[in-house]
Amino acid sequence: MYNASDLRKGLKIMMDGDPYIISEFEFNKPGKGQAHYRCKMRNLITGNSAERTYRSGDKFEPAPLEERNMQFLYSQGNEYHFMDTKDFEQFVVDAEHIGDSANFLVDNMEVDVLFFKGQPMDVTLPIFVNLTVTQADPWAKGDTSGTDTKPVTVQTGYILQVPPFVSEGDKIQIDTRTGAYVTRVK
């Protein structure tokens, strides 16, 4: 069982008999009052979103999902093709079930695909992925906005904030949990 304090983005729980993944999560606690956890979550079967507020003390059943290591082959329209690295069985997962992970998926990447009752439901990425910067503006010297970052686009089309020294063609490491820049890699 999970407790309310285990709730976080990406956690998979059972609710009303269906597996859900938490897509947005907000912790709130007024003054000396009781903590509560506002969660937006996605039904892994239907793709529908739901919003619930939980309190400290609430308990949750983990979603019974089977995890299989798979290689991402290619995507075509809304279909993402994967191959099991053990038995080479191929599966198609539709974009709805891929969600934001599409930002970090590149050909041949090994990922964990989650199955619920035999159906592929969701993709768990490696925590860190290396992607190539395809578009970056040169750093405007003397910019004193105080943020010390600039936006760049990587090969998947994803846009993120990076330090000013990152330039086009660089490979950068991204934390897939937060979508944030980690470091530049050789």
Partner 1 sequence: MEKNSLLWRRAAVIQAVRRFFHEHGYLEVETPLRLPSLIPEAYIEPEEASGWYLQTSPEICMKRLLAAGHPRLFQICKCFRRHERGARHLPEFTMLEWYRVEADYTDLMIECESLFAFLAEELQQPEVEVGEGRVGLAAPWERLTVAEAFCRFSPITLVESLDLGTFDETFSKHVEPKLGWQHPCLLHDYPAAMGALARLRPGNPEVAERFELYVGGLELANGFSELTDADEQRDRLLAAQANIRAQGRDPGPMPERFLLALHNLPSSAGIALGLDRLIMLFTGASCIDQVVTFTPDIL
Residues that bind partner 1 (CB under 8 A): 5, 26-36, 53, 55-57, 144, 146, 148
Nearest approach, Cβ of 96 to partner 1 (angstroms)? 28
Residues whose CB falls within 8 Å of the CB of residue 23, separated by 6 or more in sequence, listed in order: 9, 40, 41, 42, 49, 99
Q: Judged by CB, which is closer to partner 1: 132, or 178?
A: 178
Nearest approach, Cβ of 59 to partner 1 (angstroms)? 11
Q: Judged by CB, which is closer to partner 1: 27, or 74?
A: 27
DSSP H helices in the chain: 95-98
Q: Judged by CB, which is closer to partner 1: 29, or 117?
A: 29
Q: Judged by CB, which is closer to partner 1: 45, or 50?
A: 50
Nearest approach, Cβ of 34 to partner 1 (angstroms)? 5
Nearest approach, Cβ of 3 to partner 1 (angstroms)? 9
Task: State the first-to-last Cα distance of the chain, in angstroms, to the nearest integer.
Answer: 42
Distances (CA, A) of 13 to 30, 65, 119: 26, 10, 17
Q: Judged by CB, which is closer to partner 1: 17, or 146?
A: 146
Rounded Cα distance between 40 and 27, Å, is 12
Nearest approach, Cβ of 128 to partner 1 (angstroms)? 14
DSSP string, 66-118: EEEEEEEEEEETTEEEEEETTT--EEEEEHHHHGGGGGG--TT-EEEEEEETT
Three-state DSSP class for residue 153: strand
